[in-house]
Structure 1
């Protein structure tokens, strides 16, 4: 066993006074649905509801042993909470820099976990400004900067997920599916599997709006994405970490999957409604790709790492909206409504018995022959829209489906 594996075992043992191993649970619903033995490694049930506590604990513990007592990080989410929890545990001082736009719920949770051991500073509208402030503070105060993923001690701490997983099963699984953001978790777990010679087939999942690992694998080196969709905030990283990529560079390109954000919302709601499991968007990534992997996983033992459950329920309406759109049960379109008596009644007659009007707004009122109307329809049958649009065409009601038009949707919906 290599130094990496030995260090992972030591880190895992050191964590036990802080929190017990997170559960590994066989999920009957997913197992039956996919004809496989599906297990969930419930990192959403850690003390801070994500695996980030592991890397923060390991990195801080090593630096405390070296005599360091001042730390800082830049984070608006799970890393901040993990650092705060670890600082409180070790009795050291931490400064957590967060963007000004950070939701109050995340600020309060970080404050609760850190108590008097942590100061929270809100700096900058964008994360780059927050990061610069944290690094400037470290330079001025002589504090240690704690990277969320591009740090060998953090990667080593995250590898303890793999240590626990193998201890909790009577034999290794056929496949492990885990999310990728900056690469700390995936590189840590892959590093442990490689070091121990355990033959586990890995599948790594990125959100479609932030495929930094895929870009790095195609180029042979980390690349900075020009644009990132921040919806899956726990994994929306523009550039994979340099250190994690050194371990991930030999991952086959077709073993890295991308998950569309709307489909992730559908998965989150299914897990909430069917299983009562609250997952944040990044925490649902591994479960989300079971469907496209259906043929590969049939009859196999598969572990999905549910990496986090820090979900702000103020986002639930947006998640539901995106889930309905993914399922084809909700659409928005702009209708050119004839400006004549009876036109609206005629349009309403085109709707089916299960079609509900969720939005109706005149975009332009004038004396012209037609007026533009923004309409949102929610239904229980995806095929209802094909029938509705056919009726509109036949009646000469011009319309434009803008459901997938990101620019118009941003301004109008």
Structure 2
């Protein structure tokens, strides 16, 4: 047993004072769908609905044992790390200050306050995480508070590795493949390290948002790379740079071990899991499940596959956007800008081109480009993606001038 393995097992044992092991469940639905034996490690069922409580608990436990952080703990987070931090502050009876961006959804602020109670103060600072993080560090330096990092620290990694410690006792036989979501890399570094130390030799895949591929780019370059821009949709994994210690532990994996998950496809997976399995997942929590779509069925048939479901802190105010993205990915909803004639009967002529399964989801004049014509944004939903080919033919035959803007991110971002 290595020192790392021993420390992880000590952390796992201590953690039982906080919450029981999260369950490992075989998914009958995903198993039937893929032909593999698919198991889900349900970190969305932890007390704070994510695995982040593990790293925070281990950091606090070790800091207090070493006499640090006697006065104040500090963190910066827009979500799951803040909630885990707050829960642990209350558990240990320690004061904590959480810095969150001003743009943080109210639901996440309220849940952090609920978990922390009187032990935690929340400060909203800056529009973006980097500003918020800088303010937290400055505050910690000024007050002597101890910063609790979200992922880039040995004690955080050891805490996240307790996921693997539990898995080793729960799964009936060693898995052929383990799929891990990646944001800052703490979970991936911990789980891969622990399983390797105990002699497991599964394949590993890492699921990363396509709009925030910090691990993929770093592995491809052979060094840590800071992304110039990040799509924040997968907020629990939208990290601009993989952690230093985390990358040191992951640097020997090939870049093609990272699956880049399209955000709109991820939304389809979230809706699928909600409608069929009744499982509520946040975007980051669905990453590993979505990665199954990139695996050829012939390669995984009969294999034992373990997926870590990292979180279920989903704000249902986001559901309309998630459904919208899912429909667009599945080809069941498109947006067009039509050059619409300004004459009586024009709308009726247009509607007569639609089929029985086609529905107008949006109709909005953008502006009148000329006295006889106007630009109209039209959203159409249908029950079969093949219907759009039929519509395109009808539009052409009827002489309608239009542009499909569904996949034009620049225009769609402005008008949809």
TM over 0.5: yes
Q: Which residue of 1 aligns with 2:77?
A: 75
Q: Which residue of 2 aligns with 1:57?
A: 57
> What SS is found at the alignment partner of 2:117?
helix
Offset at residue 66 of structure 1 (A): 1.4
Distance verdict in 2 for CA 1:208–1:367, change over 3 Å: closer
Offset at residue 169 of structure 1 (A): 1.4
**1:190 pairs with one of 186, 189, 192:** 192
Deviations 1:60-105 (A, max 9, x none): 1000111222210000100000111111111111111111111111
Q: Tell whether the 8 Å contact from 2:217 to 2:255 is kept in structure 1 after alignment.
A: no
> What SS is found at the alignment partner of 2:293?
coil
| Residues 1:27 and 2:27 are matched in the alignment | yes
- The gaps in structure 1 that reach 5 residues or longer are none
Offset at residue 341 of structure 1 (A): 3.3
| Distance in 2 of aligned mates of 1:39 and 1:189 | 16
Offset at residue 366 of structure 1 (A): 5.8
Q: Which residue of 1 aligns with 2:154?
A: 152
Alignment of 1:77-116 (within 5 A): 77-116=79-118
| Distance in 1 of aligned mates of 2:409 and 2:37 | 38
| Residues 1:394 and 2:364 are matched in the alignment | no
| Residues 1:284 and 2:269 are matched in the alignment | no
> What SS is found at the alignment partner of 1:374?
strand
Q: Which residue of 2 aligns with 1:320?
A: 323
Q: Tell whether the 8 Å contact from 1:96 to 1:120 is kept in structure 2 after alignment.
A: yes
Offset at residue 166 of structure 1 (A): 1.2
> What SS is found at the alignment partner of 2:232?
coil
> What SS is found at the alignment partner of 2:368?
coil
Which sits farther off after the overlay, 332-341 or 133-142?
A: 332-341
Offset at residue 369 of structure 1 (A): 3.3
| Distance in 1 of aligned mates of 2:407 and 2:369 | 28
Deviations 1:8-53 (A, max 9, x none): 1111001001100000001101100100100100000000000000
Which sits farther off after the overlay, 42-51 or 332-341?
A: 332-341
| Residues 1:298 and 2:301 are matched in the alignment | yes
Alignment of 1:1-400 (within 5 A): 1-68=1-68, 69=70, 70-295=72-297, 296-365=299-368, 368-400=371-403
> What SS is found at the alignment partner of 1:364?
strand
> What SS is found at the alignment partner of 1:350?
coil
- The gaps in structure 2 that reach 5 residues or longer are none
Q: Tell whether the 8 Å contact from 1:338 to 1:397 is kept in structure 2 after alignment.
A: no
Which sits farther off after the overlay, 340-349 or 17-26?
A: 340-349
Which sits farther off after the overlay, 272-281 or 290-299?
A: 290-299
| Residues 1:411 and 2:414 are matched in the alignment | yes
Q: How many residues align?
A: 413
| Distance in 2 of aligned mates of 1:286 and 1:24 | 14
| Distance in 2 of aligned mates of 1:116 and 1:340 | 65
| Distance in 1 of aligned mates of 2:52 and 2:366 | 46
| Distance in 2 of aligned mates of 1:129 and 1:30 | 40
> What SS is found at the alignment partner of 2:294?
coil
| Distance in 1 of aligned mates of 2:139 and 2:222 | 33
> What SS is found at the alignment partner of 2:241?
coil
Offset at residue 370 of structure 1 (A): 2.5
Structure 1 runs (4+) deviating above 4 angstroms are: none
| Distance in 2 of aligned mates of 1:340 and 1:383 | 31
Q: Tell whether the 8 Å contact from 1:38 to 1:301 is kept in structure 2 after alignment.
A: yes
Offset at residue 395 of structure 1 (A): 1.4
Offset at residue 339 of structure 1 (A): 3.0
> What SS is found at the alignment partner of 1:106?
helix
Q: Tell whether the 8 Å contact from 1:235 to 1:282 is kept in structure 2 after alignment.
A: yes
